[in-house]
């Protein structure tokens, strides 16, 4: 009996706008209009400005630990733009700020969050996103559950979940992929493969050549895209979102990108990264190639650039003012949001915590408790 091949697979890599700003017209067909590209480019600059200012705020002690998005913005912007605002849901980790902003999250919320204020995760009505998820990997299962709810409720919505290359080592990743594909739910798994998980390079994180191929094991459509190419990101995500909305189930996108900054402000990547590698990726910055593209089309020039940078700085200054102007949270907050309805014993604790500890006041033991009376 001869040995038969029972399965073969291949992974496609999609790039539409190359590092020099040269567009593949054929692949770009029906993707982004010139106006849209210009709008998203301007938006990218504003987001980069915010990111850099956030870094400085941390350094000057005005903000806690912050994970920079620098260099990865095309991912959040291209994919976020491909999802329907107000309809689809974003299920993020912590390195896709721009997608959240595109879907309506006011910028100061992100600053508020990293300043250590829970209210940064108190998402405004009408913005379809879940709170930032810091435990690595957990949000992928949540996205799958949200998509399952869409399916049961017969709503034509799609969930996009974001995670890093490192997160694919968690069991949650594999369980989410398996569930999503066996249940055929409308979810898009968007992996920002930025080559590093803190100090661990991708090749030590996994032995597979691509991240995209992991999806093959789960029978899921999968593609690798140039994550610094706004067009490729947009096209791949839009296709995946449309497929999901049409009942075609989940998809996987591996976006090859690079974390130009440190892991977070608590890290110093110079200790473990080759400066030549960083240098090479600087040249692949999504902003540089978009600018070249727009300038080549006569849609952009140095004056417009200067004007928009100026405008971005003003926007960001306003955002900081808003974030810092919000009064510090009160101790009441920590009790008010622990249960849907404040239980009597927490009500008592809320009153007494400033002066006393557990069981020190009669109220806390449940005796003479006016709340119970």
Partner 1 sequence: MPAFELPTVDFSKPLPSRDGTRLIQFREALREAMSEEMRRDPRVFLMGEEVAEYHGAYKVSQGMLEEFGPKRIIDSPISENGFAGMAVGAAMYGLRPIIEFMSWSFSLVAADPILNNVPKMLYMSGGQWGCPVVFRGNDGAGGQLGSTHSWCVEGLYANVPGVKIVIPSNPYDAKGLLKTAIRDDDPVFFLESERMLGDKAHVPEEEYYIPFGQARVAREGDDCTLVSFGRPVNFCLEAAAELENDRISVDVLDMRTIRPLDIDSILTSLRKTNRLVVVDQCWPFASIASEVVTQVCERGFDWLDTPPVRVNTEDVPTPYAKGLEYAYLPNKDKIAAAVRKTLG
Give the active site residues: 259, 263, 272
- The bridge status of strand 196-197 relative to strand 200-201 is antiparallel
Separation CA 373–CA 370 (nearest Å): 5
Beta carbons of 62 and 115 less than 8 angstroms apart: yes
**What is the SS3 assignment for 225?**
strand
Residues 126-155 that bind Mg ion (CB under 5 A): none
Nearer to ligand TPP, 186 or 286 (CB): 286
CB of 246 vs ligand TPP, minimal distance in Å: 30
Task: State which residue has the least CB distance to ligand TPP.
Answer: 164
Nearer to ligand TPP, 82 or 140 (CB): 140
Instruction: By CB under 5 A, tell whether 267 contacts Mg ion.
Output: no
Nearer to partner 1, 88 or 117 (CB): 117
- Exactly one of 59, 86, 272, 280 binds partner 1 (CB under 8 A); that residue is 272
Instruction: By CB under 8 A, tell whether 320 contacts partner 1.
Output: no
Separation CA 181–CA 371 (nearest Å): 50
Instruction: By CB under 8 A, tell whether 136 contacts partner 1.
Output: yes
CB of 367 vs ligand TPP, minimal distance in Å: 42
HSE-CB at 108 with a 13 A cutoff on CA atoms is 13
Contacts with 43 (C-beta within 8 Å, 6 or more apart), sequence order: 77, 98, 101, 102
What the block records as the tokens of 18 is: 């190359």
Separation CA 240–CA 36 (nearest Å): 20
Q: Could you list the residues that contact ligand TPP (CB under 6 A)?
A: 95, 134-136, 163-167, 192, 194, 196-198, 259, 263
Residue 255: strand pairing partners: 192, 225
Considering only the stretches 154-162, 222-230, 316-324, 344-352, report the one whose residues sit in contact with partner 1 under the rule CB under 8 A. Answer: 344-352
What the block records as the tokens of 57 is: 């705020």
Token pair 């803190």 is at which residue? 198
Number of residues in contact with partner 1, rule: CB under 8 A?
41
CB of 363 vs partner 1, minimal distance in Å: 14
Residue 72: strand pairing partners: none
CB of 199 vs Mg ion, minimal distance in Å: 11
Nearer to partner 1, 296 or 329 (CB): 329
Instruction: By CB under 8 A, tell whether 357 contacts partner 1.
Output: yes
Element (H, E) at 133: none
Beta carbons of 273 and 196 less than 8 angstroms apart: yes
Which of the choices partner 1, Mg ion, ligand TPP, none does residue 359 contact, using the CB cut-off of 5 to 8 A by kind? partner 1
Beta carbons of 303 and 309 less than 8 angstroms apart: no
- Chain residues binding partner 1 by CB under 8 A are 64, 116-118, 134-137, 166-167, 169-172, 197-200, 204-206, 271-272, 328-329, 331, 333-335, 338, 345-346, 349, 353-360
């Amino acid at each position: 009996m001869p040995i038969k091949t029972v399965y073969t697979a291949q992974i496609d890599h999609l790039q539409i706008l190359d590092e020099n700003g040269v567009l593949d017209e054929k692949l770009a067909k029906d993707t982004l209009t010139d106006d849209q590209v210009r709008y998203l480019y301007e938006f990218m600059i504003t987001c980069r400005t915010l990111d850099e200012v956030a870094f400085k705020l941390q350094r000057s002690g005005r903000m806690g630990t912050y994970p920079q998005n620098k260099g990865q913005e095309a991912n959040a912007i291209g994919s976020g733009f491909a999802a329907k605002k107000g309809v689809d849901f974003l299920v993020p980790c912590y390195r896709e700020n721009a997608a959240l902003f595109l879907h309506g999250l006011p910028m100061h919320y992100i600053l508020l969050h990293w300043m250590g204020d829970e209210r940064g995760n108190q998402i405004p009505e009408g913005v379809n996103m879940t709170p930032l998820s810091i435990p690595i990997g957990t949000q992928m299962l949540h996205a799958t559950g949200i998509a399952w709810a869409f399916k049961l409720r017969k709503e034509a919505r799609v969930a996009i979940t974001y995670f890093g290359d490192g997160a694919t080592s968690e069991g949650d990743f594999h369980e989410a992929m398996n569930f999503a594909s066996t249940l055929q739910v409308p979810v898009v798994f968007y992996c920002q493969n930025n080559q590093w998980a803190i100090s661990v390079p991708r090749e030590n994180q996994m032995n597979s050549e691509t991240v995209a191929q992991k999806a093959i094991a789960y029978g899921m459509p999968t593609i690798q895209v140039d994550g610094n190419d706004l067009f490729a990101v947009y096209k791949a995500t839009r296709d995946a979102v449309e497929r999901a909305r049409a009942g075609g189930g989940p998809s996987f996108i591996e976006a090859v990108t690079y974390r130009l900054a440190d892991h977070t402000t608590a890290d110093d990547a110079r200790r473990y990264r080759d400066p030549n590698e960083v240098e090479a990726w600087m040249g692949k910055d999504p902003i540089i190639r978009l600018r070249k593209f727009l300038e080549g089309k006569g849609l952009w020039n140095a004056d417009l650039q200067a004007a928009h940078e100026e405008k971005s700085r003003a926007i960001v200054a306003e955002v900081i003012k808003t974030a810092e102007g919000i009064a510090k949270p009160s101790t009441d907050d920590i009790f008010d949001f622990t249960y849907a309805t404040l239980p009597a014993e927490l009500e008592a604790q809320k009153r007494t915590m400033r002066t006393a500890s557990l069981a020190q006041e009669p109220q806390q033991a449940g005796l003479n408790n006016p709340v119970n009376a």
